[in-house]
Structure 1
Amino acid sequence: MAGTRRARAQRKLLWRWRRNPLRRRCDRVEAWIVLATWIVALAGGLLAGEAAGSAMEDDLATRRAAVHAVSAVLIEDADGTPAVTEDGIGDTVHAKVRWTAADGSAHTGLTRTEPGRAKGSSVTVWIDRRGDLARAPLTAGEARLQSALAGVLVAVGTGAVAFGCGRLARLRLDRRRMRDWESEWERVAPSGGRT
């Protein structure tokens, strides 16, 4: 019983590829469209996702290498209460700091720090190659996670586009099939089937 059920399922799955005197040219074209859609959706999605994830990981590594941490000194007291943001109450405040760049020049700027820190406290800031303040880079784990998520999104998007294009091609093929069927019906039964 299970063998016949499996054979029926295989026949149903592969009906477009079997030899049949009733199989039309559009049925063969549809079979190739379905096959190409699946190949592009799976293989193309995997390759595009891998490429996007790898490119993002390289970009984040380059950004991480472009900045480095230095010690800075608060030149004013930090506010005691964090500002209220759209997401609620923040956990840091802005404070003015002074740091020395690699070339020995002194710089000042605003950075985020814990609330209530006193003037003269030491804080860590991230600077770029020119000595300007920069955002702290993502950690290696955060970068891997972000790259993996980007790869998954690109893979799913590529697969969805492939399935959408395949579905659109099959819809156009169905419309053409209906037009051909209608013209054949007009030729066979010009009175619309009424006698």
Structure 2
Amino acid sequence: MAGTHGARPRRVRLWRWRSNPLRRRSDVIEAWVLLATVVLALLVGAFAGVTAAGVVDGSIEDRREGVRPVPAVLVEDAAHALPASVTEDSDGGVWAKVRWTAPDGAVRTGRAEVGAGTKAGTEVTVWNDRAGRLASAPPEGAEARFQVVMAGTTVAVATGGLVVLGGWLLRSRLQWRRLAEWEAEWQRVEPSWRKRMTG
């Protein structure tokens, strides 16, 4: 017949939700599992992401409160310190020896990040913790927002992925159970079917 040769079977969308003779109880359960997996992945992932972002934002705020900028003087030329043990970072800064006065009045020295071409005797700004020790500057502006967003996104995706994995494992278990039910039913039907075919 023209137009029927090689016709592909039409897919029925959402067939597990529609009443039909071939739908089994396990099909309905699987449909609910899929729906619950999607909803939980979105809700739990979003909640975990927002929580993680809040934790990171709070941590950054604690770092801001725990350090303060203080004036310091560069003890050595940054350019001269480069060949020794100074490490360059991605911004072109270098670690050079500086001198500053701690809150208790003691004069201290240490290595802090300064511009690569900074001369000895130049006043620079370093960060101290509450004990007057050198500390890294807390992230500000775009850098802080980036850390908060990245933390929230990473945790949200990871948590949502775990939920999806759990749903997939449960669905696989349902599929194995359905196959076992089909096999058991076939064992009951097969003798009578074989008798009719050979009779």
CA separation of 1:86 and 1:164: change in aligned 2, threshold 3 A? farther
CA contact (8 A) 1:97 1:111 kept: yes
CA separation of 1:154 and 1:97: change in aligned 2, threshold 3 A? same
Q: Which residue does 2:73 correspond to in 1?
A: 73
> Alignment length, in residue pairs?
186
CA separation of 1:133 and 1:74: change in aligned 2, threshold 3 A? same
Q: Which amino acid aligns with 1:138?
A: P
The yes-or-no answer on 1:172 pairing with 2:173 is yes
Q: Which residue does 1:107 correspond to in 2?
A: 108
Partner deviation per Cα, 1:135-155 (whole Å, 9 max, x = no partner): 111113311121112111211
Q: Which residue does 1:138 correspond to in 2?
A: 139
Q: TM-score, normalised by structure 2?
A: 0.81
Query: Deviation of residue 93 (structure 1)?
Result: 2.5
> What is the alpha-carbon root mean square deviation over aligned residues?
2.9
Judge which range, 125-134 or 59-68, deviates more: 59-68
Q: Which amino acid aligns with 2:56?
A: M
Q: Which residue does 2:53 correspond to in 1?
A: 53
Q: Which residue does 2:40 correspond to in 1?
A: 40
Q: Secondary structure at the match of 1:65?
A: helix
Partner deviation per Cα, 1:156-191 (whole Å, 9 max, x = no partner): 122221111111111111111111101110111148
The yes-or-no answer on 1:93 pairing with 2:94 is yes
Query: Deviation of residue 97 (structure 1)?
Result: 1.1
Q: TM-score, normalised by structure 1?
A: 0.82
Query: Deviation of residue 52 (structure 1)?
Result: 0.9
Q: Which residue does 1:185 correspond to in 2?
A: 186
Partners of 2:180 and 2:43 in 1: CA distance: 34
CA contact (8 A) 2:87 2:94 kept: no
Stretches of structure 2 that go unaligned for 5 or more consecutive residues are 1-9
Stretches of structure 1 that go unaligned for 5 or more consecutive residues are 1-7
Partners of 1:178 and 1:187 in 2: CA distance: 14
Larger radius of gyration: 2
Judge which range, 77-86 or 123-132, deviates more: 77-86
Partners of 1:133 and 1:192 in 2: CA distance: 85
Judge which range, 112-121 or 169-178, deviates more: 112-121
Q: Which amino acid aligns with 1:161?
A: L
Q: Secondary structure at the match of 1:112?
A: strand
CA separation of 1:88 and 1:150: change in aligned 2, threshold 3 A? closer
Q: Which amino acid aligns with 1:152?
A: T
Query: Deviation of residue 78 (structure 1)?
Result: 2.4
The yes-or-no answer on 1:147 pairing with 2:148 is yes
Partners of 1:175 and 1:72 in 2: CA distance: 70
Partners of 1:87 and 1:109 in 2: CA distance: 17
